[in-house]
Amino acid sequence: MLYLVAFLLHCLPLAMGQYDICKSWVTTDDGPSWEFYACQPKAMRMKDYVTVRVDPAGITCGDPPERFCTHENPYLCSDECDASNPDLAHPPKLMFDSEDEGLATYWQSVTWRRYPEPLLANITLSWNKSIELTDDIVITFEYGRPTVMMLEKSLDNGRTWHPYQYYADDCMEAFSMPARRVRELSSSSANRVLCTEEYSRWAGSKKEKTVRFEVRDRFAIFAGPDLRNMGNLYTRLESAKGLRDFFTITDLRMRLLRPALGGTYVQRENLYKYFYAVSNIEVTGRCKCNLHANLCTFREGSLQCECEHNTTGQDCGKCKKSFRSRSWRAGSYLPLPNGSPNACAAAGSAFGNCECYGHSNRCSYIDFLNVVTCVSCKHNTRGQHCQHCRLGFYRNSSAELDDENVCIECNCNQIGSMHDRCNETGYCECREGATGPKCDDCLPNYYWRQGCFPNVCDDELLLCQNGGTCYQNQRCICPVGFKGVLCQQSRCEADKKDCDGAHAARGSLGTLLLTVLALQLRAWVDL
Ligand SMILES: *[C@@H]1O[C@H](CO)[C@@H](O)[C@H](O)[C@H]1NC(C)=O
Ligand SMILES: *[C@@H]1O[C@H](CO)[C@@H](O)[C@H](O)[C@H]1NC(C)=O
Ligand SMILES: *[C@@H]1O[C@H](CO)[C@@H](O)[C@H](O)[C@H]1NC(C)=O
Ligand SMILES: *[C@@H]1O[C@H](CO)[C@@H](O)[C@H](O)[C@H]1NC(C)=O
Ligand SMILES: *[C@@H]1O[C@H](CO)[C@@H](O)[C@H](O)[C@H]1NC(C)=O
Ligand SMILES: [Ca+2]
C-alpha cells in the first residue's frame, strides 16, 4: 500500500500510473496462479539514450575559431568559439548534458557570414527504437529562436521522413500555410501537422527561449486540460486510426532554416550576431513495447523492451518460439482499467497439439478423421498446421515457418507459363519457347509477342533474301519485286506485268493460272 501511494505521488503529474505491471500472482478458487495485464514502461528522459548527427559538415562553429556577437550587444563581440579549446568549444553533445549548474552549455553553429546564402542546419536524433512520446518536446535556444524551422520525424529508423510541425514568424510567407495553434485542434484533427507562429517571434533572447512540440495539448483534447481523464485518451489511442503512430517516433530531425534576426531585417554589416545555439533538447517518452513489457533497458547501445507475455523482439513485436499457436497481437488498453494482455500462447495449449505457426487462431476437430486441424490459415498457407503454401505460392526458404512472409506468390507470366503454380524454388512451368523463372523471357531463336514464337528471320540462318531486312525477328521487309516469308520469291511469278519475258517463260502452270486470275480481277476492278 505504501508503495502504491508513493507510486501514485510519483506519477500524478502525468497521471500515467496505469498499465505499470504485466502480471501478478493471485489466489483464486483453483489455487494461486499468474494473472496477466497489458503493461508499458515508464516514461523516461529520452535524451540520455540518443545519438545525434548535425549536418552539413562544418556547420558547428570553432573550426576555424570564430568571433560572434549577440543581439543585445551587437558591437561588443567578445565571445569566441574555438573547437580546439574545451572551454570555448560548442559540440553537439552539449545539447544533451544536464543543465543544473545554472550556466547553459550549448551547441553552436557558424555565423551567417555567407549571407544571403541561407544558413541551414539539420540536427538529427536517432534512438534505433520506437518511442511513444508522453510529454512535450522542448528545444531550448540560447541567443534567440530560429525565425524559420521545421520538425520532422521518422518511424522506420530514418528510412522515410514526415513533417511533424512547422515553425515560422510568418507561416504564410515561409511555408504557405496558415498559422494555427495546437489548442485550436479538435478530436478529429488531433494528429494534424500544422504551422505555428508561437515560438518564432523575437521576444528578447533572455525571455522566451523554448520551441515546443505540444504533446500534452494534444493529449488534453481527449484527457481534459489537466490530463485527468487518461482513460478516454487510452480509449482513443486504441481506436482512432493513426493517432498512436502520430506520437510514435524512432528519429527526430530539426531543420533550422533561418536564425533569429533580433529585428525585422538582417544587418549585413554585422553578420556575426546571426547563428543557432541549442542548449537543450528534452524528449520525454517511453519505449514502445506493444503493451507487452513494463521495463525497457539500454543494452548493446540500444533500448530494448524486456518482453513479457511470451513475446520477444526489440518492441515485443512477435511471439517467442514455441508460443506461436496463435498470431501475435499487441496488448490493448481496453477494457479499462487493466487492458488485455493478448499474450502469446504455448503451442499445444489450445487443442491437443495443434500448432498453426501463427497463421490461424482457430483449430477444429474433424470427427471422422480423428484429427485436429487449423482453420482458415492466413498468409497464403494451407494444411493441417498451416505448414504448406497455397497453390500459386512457394516457400520462402529464408523465412521461418511462422513468418508472415513464408509464402511468396509464384507470379508466373500468364501467357508464357502453363499454369500459375511453381516449384519449391519459385520456377514456373513454361510453354514452348518461353523461359526464365517466371516464363516471361524467350529462348534463343524465339521472339516475344503475346507469348514466344519461333523466329521467322534472323542474322544467321534464317536470312532474308534478295536484299530484304529482318524486322524484330518477326518478318522480312521485302524490296519491291520480291515476296515470301524470306523474300525468296520474285513477284513476277505472281504478276506478269512486273516481269521480263525470261521470268514469265519459266512460270509454272500454277502461277500462270494465278496470273490469269489476277488479270481478270484487275479488269473487273477497272470497270
Ligand atoms: C536536411 O535534411 C533534409 C531531409 O530531411 C535534406 O533535404 C536537406 O538537404 C538537409 N539539409 C542539410 C543542410 O543537410
Ligand atoms: C539497432 O537495434 C538492433 C536491435 O537491438 C540492433 O541489432 C542493431 O545493431 C542496432 N543498430 C544500431 C545502428 O545501433
Ligand atoms: C509464458 O510461458 C511460460 C512457460 O515458459 C508460462 O509459465 C507463462 O505462464 C507464460 N506466460 C503467458 C503470459 O502466457
Ligand atoms: C523472405 O523472408 C525474409 C525473412 O522474413 C524476408 O526478409 C524476405 O523479404 C522474404 N522474401 C520475399 C521475396 O518475400
Ligand atoms: C525448379 O525448377 C528449376 C527450373 O526447372 C530447377 O532448376 C530447379 O532445380 C527446380 N527446383 C526444385 C526444388 O525442384
Ligand atoms: Ca546543455
Q: What is the pLDDT of residues 446-503, one digit of tens each?
A: 999 889 999 999 988 899 999 999 999 999 999 999 999 999 998 876 555 555 544 4
What local confidence, expressed as pLDDT, does residue 321 receive?
81
- Residue 36 CA, closest ligand 3 atom number: 13
- Residue 404 CA, closest ligand 4 atom number: 5
The set of residues, in sequence order, having a beta carbon less than 8 Å from that of 404 and lying 6+ positions away, is 358, 379
Q: Which residues surround ligand 6, an ion (CB under 5 A)?
A: 94, 97, 105, 279
What local confidence, expressed as pLDDT, does residue 124 receive?
98
Supply the residue whose CA is at minimum distance from atom 1 of ligand 3. 310
**Concatenated DSSP letters of 364-419:** EEETTTTEEEE-S--TTEESTTS-EEPTTEEE-TTS-TT-TTSEEE----TTTEEE
- pLDDT tens-digit series, residues 357-367: 888 877 787 77
C-alpha 122 to ligand 1 mean position (Å): 6
C-alpha 112 to ligand 3 mean position (Å): 60
The residue behind cell 515553425 is: 167
Residues 458/471, Cβ–Cβ less than 8 Å: no
Supply the residue whose CA is at minimum distance from atom 3 of ligand 3. 310
HEC assignment per residue over 257-320: EECCCCCCCCCCCCHHHCCCEEEEEECEEEECCCCECCCEEEECCEEEECCCCCEECCCCCEEC
What local confidence, expressed as pLDDT, does residue 211 receive?
97
- pLDDT tens-digit series, residues 406-439: 999 999 999 999 999 999 999 999 999 999 999 9
Supply the residue whose CA is at minimum distance from atom 9 of ligand 4. 405
Q: Which of 55, 117, 164 to mutate to test the pocket of ligand 1 (most atoms within 8 A of CB)?
A: 55
Look at 1-5, 33-37, 209-213, 445-449 and tell me which has the smallest mean pLDDT: 1-5
Q: How confident is the model at residue 524 (pLDDT cuts 50, 70, 90)?
A: very low
Ligand 1 lined by 152 (C-beta under 6 Å)? yes
C-alpha 158 to ligand 2 mean position (Å): 13
Burial of 320 by CB count in 10 Å (0-12 exposed, 13-18 middle, 19+ buried)? middle
CA-angle at 112, arms to 107 and 162, nearest 5°? 65
CA dihedral 90, 94, 98, 99 (to 10 degrees): 40
The set of residues, in sequence order, having a beta carbon less than 8 Å from that of 370 and lying 6+ positions away, is none
Q: How confident is the model at residue 223 (pLDDT cuts 50, 70, 90)?
A: very high
C-alpha 99 to ligand 2 mean position (Å): 29
The one-letter amino acid at 189: S
Cell of 394: 512457394
Supply the residue whose CA is at minimum distance from atom 9 of ligand 3. 34
What local confidence, expressed as pLDDT, does residue 110 receive?
97
The set of residues, in sequence order, having a beta carbon less than 8 Å from that of 395 and lying 6+ positions away, is 389, 406, 407, 408, 424
Q: Which ligand is closest in space to the CA of residue 426?
A: 5
Look at 142-156, 205-219, 287-301, 434-448 and tell me which has the smallest mean pLDDT: 205-219
pLDDT of 505 > 80? The answer is: no
Ligand 1 lined by 255 (C-beta under 6 Å)? yes
Give the closest residue to 454 by CA, choosing from 464, 444, 463, 469. Answer: 444
Supply the residue whose CA is at minimum distance from atom 2 of ligand 1. 122
Ligand 1 lined by 251 (C-beta under 6 Å)? no
Residues 185/165, Cβ–Cβ less than 8 Å: no
What local confidence, expressed as pLDDT, does residue 497 receive?
57
Within a 10 A sphere around the Cβ of 87, how many other Cβ atoms? 6
C-alpha 121 to ligand 1 mean position (Å): 8
Q: How confident is the model at residue 506 (pLDDT cuts 50, 70, 90)?
A: very low
Look at 106-120, 336-350, 377-391 and tell me which has the smallest mean pLDDT: 336-350
Ligand 5 lined by 351 (C-beta under 6 Å)? no
What local confidence, expressed as pLDDT, does residue 403 receive?
87
Spatial separation of the C-alpha atoms in residues 152 and 167, rounded to whole Å: 11
Q: Which ligand is closest in space to the CA of residue 162?
A: 1
Higher pLDDT, 521 or 344: 344
Q: Which ligand is closest in space to the CA of residue 430?
A: 5
Supply the residue whose CA is at minimum distance from atom 6 of ligand 2. 302
- Which SS3 state, helix, strand or coil, does residue 85 take? coil
Ligand 4 lined by 306 (C-beta under 6 Å)? no
Within a 10 A sphere around the Cβ of 33, how many other Cβ atoms? 10
User: Chain-wide mean pLDDT for the chain?
Assistant: 87
The residue behind cell 518482453 is: 307
pTM, whole model, 2 decimals?
0.68
Across residues 320-348, what is the average pLDDT? 82
Ligand 4 lined by 176 (C-beta under 6 Å)? no
What local confidence, expressed as pLDDT, does residue 56 receive?
97
Q: Which ligand is closest in space to the CA of residue 437?
A: 5
CA-based Rg of the chain, rounded to a whole angstrom? 37
Spatial separation of the C-alpha atoms in residues 506 and 447, rounded to whole Å: 37
Distances from the Cα of 300 to the Cα of 303, 304, 375, 524, angstroms: 8, 9, 41, 94
Q: Which ligand is closest in space to the CA of residue 158?
A: 1
What local confidence, expressed as pLDDT, does residue 263 receive?
83
Q: How confident is the model at residue 243 (pLDDT cuts 50, 70, 90)?
A: very high
Ligand 4 lined by 405 (C-beta under 6 Å)? yes
What local confidence, expressed as pLDDT, does residue 459 receive?
86
Higher pLDDT, 298 or 70: 298
- Residue 408 CA, closest ligand 4 atom number: 14
Across residues 375-386, what is the average pLDDT? 91
C-alpha 402 to ligand 3 mean position (Å): 19
Across residues 117-121, what is the average pLDDT? 97
Residue 25 CA, chain-centre distance (Å), reads: 40
Interhelix angle 230-239/215-223, rounded to 10 degrees, is 100
Ligand 1 lined by 248 (C-beta under 6 Å)? no
The half-sphere exposure of 10 on its side-chain side, counting CA atoms within 13 A, is 11
- Percent of the chain clearing pLDDT 70 (strictly above): 87
- Residue 437 CA, closest ligand 5 atom number: 4
Ligand 4 lined by 458 (C-beta under 6 Å)? no
C-alpha 140 to ligand 6 mean position (Å): 9
Q: Which of 59, 60, 122, 162 to mutate to test the pocket of ligand 1 (most atoms within 8 A of CB)?
A: 122
C-alpha 175 to ligand 6 mean position (Å): 30
Supply the residue whose CA is at minimum distance from atom 8 of ligand 5. 425
- Percent of the chain clearing pLDDT 90 (strictly above): 66
What local confidence, expressed as pLDDT, does residue 99 receive?
78
C-alpha 56 to ligand 6 mean position (Å): 21
- Which SS3 state, helix, strand or coil, does residue 27 take? strand
Start-to-end CA distance of the chain, whole Å, equals: 116
Cell of 67: 568571433
Cell of 363: 483449430
What local confidence, expressed as pLDDT, does residue 336 receive?
87
C-alpha 412 to ligand 5 mean position (Å): 14
Cell of 404: 508472415
Q: How confident is the model at residue 271 (pLDDT cuts 50, 70, 90)?
A: very high
Ligand 2 lined by 304 (C-beta under 6 Å)? yes
Q: How confident is the model at residue 328 (pLDDT cuts 50, 70, 90)?
A: confident
State the DSSP H helix or E strand holding residue 148, giving kind and residue range, or none if neither: strand 148-154
